Structure 1
Amino acid sequence: MTVDAAALLDLTDASVVANPYPAFAALRAQAPVAWHSGLGQWVATSHAACSQVLRDRGLGRVFREREPQDAWDTFNWLHAESILDSEPPKHTRLRRLVQSAFSRGHVARLGPRIEALTAGLLVGCRQRLESEGSFDVISDLAEPLPVLVIAELLGWPEQDRHLLRPWSQAIVRMYEVNRTAEEDEAAQRACGEFAAYVETLAAQRVSMGSADGPDDLLADLVAVREGGDRLSTRELVATAVLLLNAGHEASVNGFGNGLASLVASGRDPGRVAPLVEEMLRHDSPLQLFERTATREVVVADVRIREGQKISALLGAGNRDPAVFESPDEFRPDRDPNPHLAFGAGIHFCIGAPLARLELATSVAALLAELGPLEVVESVRRPTFVLRGYERLSVRSA
């Protein structure tokens, strides 16, 4: 019997978007891969099927330009020239160049700076806790921290760092299932402004030269060479924009979702390393990763024809009982924990080491300074693909 995933996973239902996990479980029990008439594509819900979708070389990231071209021009090339929306051999080349710049010690050097930035934000959290009785862990810590970290990484001018979060939030709305015309227009403006700013910064790095310029990732992206190869201006700009969008949104949502899960569990957080992995698994910040069949592929006995799309529902795969014992429980000491929150295969998140460092540093500092915590008020974002909180007010328990 053919299963229509839309009947069990109705993404027009606000209650399903707010808590998709019961629908994931019901759909997985019916079929690990099913056609979703609402999305117009196949969806994978088991860990094994999601893993194959992420790794199978017969499935690729095939970017289709938005129309009309004049309105979406910058949005289109920001995606076409990025690592995320390219396949080998282009992807191999881009990832090699970007990884070469990343591997010059930038993440390791950021460790002490992340600690200092977290400490500064926690001062404000404590002041708000003392004056108001609670604080919003999203707006007071989880949102500003990754923006500050990415700004430090790229060498973004301090006086203009307030521009980053609005640009990122406008652009990532384009990945959601339901959008408005106003949100489309906001994304178009954000892409143009963001790309123009990064291009200006890159030109400054070029004019300074490696000897006199700052020691930041943007400078290394400008200077990186593999033989005679280098990043084009558009590839460099697309990389910087991707780092902000992916790094910021995943970090904010991973922190908020994970902290809410920890508090609700009532468990001792234990060691920070396994705690961070469980925060990412239990309520994944990214719920859907789309691929397109470049040839016929069989996933969980389902034939995906060339040109058809299939998405890995990462939150579903991360709660598969075939892989995770009591998957709906939040276990801070869960080990092993082969979650898919960072993806898998050639598109495994290039910023995963930085995201893990940022989460481990900030969560450990928050709990040591102000924990244990209890939730006073929580408001979910009305989004499915990028899952997170608009507000998560907490106080010391």
Structure 2
Amino acid sequence: MLPFDPSDTAFIADPYPRFAQLRAEGEVHWHPGLGLAVAVSHSACSALLRHRALGRIWQDACPVDDFAAFNLLHRNSLLENEPPKHTRLRRLVATAFARGHTERLRPWVNTLADQLVDTLAARIAVDEQADLLKTVAEPLPVEVIAELLGVPAQDRHLLLPWSHTIVKMYEYGLAPDKRLAAEAASTEFVAYLRELVEQRRAHPGEDLVSDLVSVADADGARLTSDELVATAVLLLMAGHEATVNVVGNGVLALMRHRDQWDRLVAEPELLPSAAEELIRYDSPLQLFERTATAEVEIAGYRLRPGEKIAALLGSAARDPEVFTNPDQLDLGRSPNPHLGFGAGIHYCLGAPLARVEVTAILDALRRRLPELALAGEPERRSEFVIRGLHTLPVTA
């Protein structure tokens, strides 16, 4: 029997009861369908994310000749590499990020959130309901990442379709036509970003791409063109997909836990802890893989070199050994040691910016639409690894 079926619609709708059963049975389970072990406790997930004998070892999509662009993006990504390459990439990218980009964007993000929520309110006024996902949750992170990278306004409509198509490759058992579509999107994205990088080499601006072009190690080493492109794509896919789904999953949870929504409306000082709790409560990324580079043991489960294990982040986030009343949404929860941004050397570099985005949206919603409510049943995405919604109809 499989620990869980990632294609089962009932499981996708609510995986948390099954996760609780798995935690009661043990901390790590072999999943023959996925071909890897899955860790379900917070302790085991935290250990595997931090263990230096468990790395992100990229394996090319095959046949290799059919996935040249997709593989290029991942071979050169700091997320898919280990030291010493990861150390060099992260140092350079972190140095570029440290040039004040998050604080530079904060007031702009707050203004954008207000504008998008005003648009949502206007559509509700006309049609009595509107899709919060399409009107607010999806456009804001795309605009933010585009602004961060310096993508011209007339090109920003290209980014979301590319991201949605590429990230489907992270699901298991993907159909061949969707795999080919992911490669086509990767090819277009790589070509676009190569041109953008060359423009920034010739005409630097205040954007992150300009800083990524100029940043150098103490010995003068810089990011290669492939690394620059891979970094930009990673920022879009990781930053966009995570923020959209934190907002979508989170607002849905708030609408279903009215006491917590009313609490947020009345207590704006809860915004920072609310963002953390929404990330914990319904994780936008459910599974994150590692590969053993040496013999290693996690919670009594032994892995040999080359064997894979995954952290089930959604299960770790509901572990009663760490979180009091874990199935309860509590916007004031503290401490809240969720693993939503990862842990160890692969901890998310964009976490500060993601927090700015989520709190800006929550703040705009609670100020401008305090009577926000569901206008119908949302449509959930069918994927397991990236957990989110297709629609979120609301009224006010």
What TM-score, normalized to structure 1? 0.96
Give the whole-Å Cα distance in 1 for the aligned partners of 2:130 and 2:202.
44
Q: 2:15 aligns with which of 16, 20, 44?
A: 20
Residues in 1 aligned to 2:313 and 2:7: alpha-carbon distance in whole angstroms: 19
Deviation string 1:252-276 (CA, Å, 9 cap, x unpaired) is 0011111111221122124101100
Post-superposition offset of 1:10: 1.7
Counterpart secondary structure, 1:311: strand
Structure 2 CA distance for aligned equivalents of residues 178 and 362 of structure 1: 34
Taking the TM superposition and a 5 Å limit, the aligned residue runs for 1:70-219 are 70-208=65-203, 213-219=204-210
- Say whether the 8 Å CA contact 1:199–1:237 is kept in structure 2: yes
User: Any stretches of 5+ residues in structure 1 without a counterpart?
Assistant: none
Query: Which residue matches 1:261?
Result: 253
Structure-2 residue corresponding to 1:230: 222
Distance in 2 (CA, whole Å) between partners of 1:216 and 1:114 is: 15
Give the SS at the match of 1:129. Answer: helix
Alignment of 1:298-309 (within 5 A): 298-309=297-308
Structure 2: stretches of 5+ with no match in the other structure:
none
Is the 8 Å Cα contact of residues 118 and 368 (structure 2) preserved in structure 1? no
Cα offset, 1:230, TM superposition: 0.6
1:32 alignment partner in structure 2: 27
CA distance in 2, matches of 1:358, 1:13: 32
Matched, 1:394 2:389: no
TM-score of the two chains, using structure 2 as the length reference: 0.96
> How many angstroms apart in 2 are the aligned matches of 1:140 and 1:12?
28
Q: CA deviation at 1:386?
A: 0.5
Distance across 2 between alignment mates of 1:153 and 1:185:
29
| Cα distance in 2 for residues equivalent to 1:326 and 1:368 | 29
How far did 1:131 drift?
0.6
Percent sequence identity is 51
* Structure 1 stretches of 4+ moved >4 Å: none
How far is 1:12 from its partner?
2.7
The C-alpha deviation readout for 1:187-214, integer Å capped at 9, x for no partner, is: 0111000011011010011122xxxx31
CA distance in 1, matches of 2:101, 2:335: 29
Q: Deviations over 1:263-316 (max 9, x none)?
A: 211221241011000000000100000000001111111111211100000000
Give aligned pairs, total.
387
* Equivalent position of 2:238 in the other structure: 246
Mapped to 2, the partners of 1:58 and 1:103 lie a distance apart of: 29
Residue in 1 that maps onto 2:342: 343
2:33 alignment partner, SS class = coil
Give SS of 1:321's match: coil
Question: Displacement, 1:373?
Answer: 1.9
Q: State whether structure 2 residue 371 is matched by structure 1 residue 380.
A: no
Residue by residue over 1:220-279, the C-alpha shift from the partner in whole angstroms, topping out at 9 and shown as x without a partner, is: 000001121110000000000000000000000011111111221122124101100000
- For residues 226 and 344 of structure 1, the distance between their equivalents in structure 2, rounded to whole angstroms, comes to 25
Distance of 1:372 and 1:352 partners within structure 2: 29
Given that residues 176 and 385 in structure 1 are in contact (C-alpha distance below 8 angstroms), is that contact kept between their aligned partners in structure 2? yes
Q: Distance in 1 between matches of 2:235 and 2:336?
A: 25
Displacement, 1:372?
Answer: 3.2
Question: Could you tell me how far apart the structure 2 residues matched to 1:306 and 1:25 are?
Answer: 29
CA contact 1:147–1:165 (8 Å) conserved in 2: yes
Q: CA deviation at 1:123?
A: 2.2
CA distance in 2, matches of 1:394, 1:245: 26
Root-mean-square deviation over aligned CA pairs? 0.9
CA distance in 2: counterparts of 1:20 and 1:176, whole angstroms: 16
Say whether the 8 Å CA contact 1:9–1:27 is kept in structure 2: no
For 2:365 and 2:225, locate their aligned partners in 1 and report how far apart those are by CA, in whole Å. 39
Structure 1 residue matching 2:173: 3-state secondary structure: coil
Q: What CA distance in whole angstroms lies between the structure 1 residues aligned with 2:12 and 2:292?
A: 27
> 2:23 & 2:88 partners in 1: Cα distance?
37
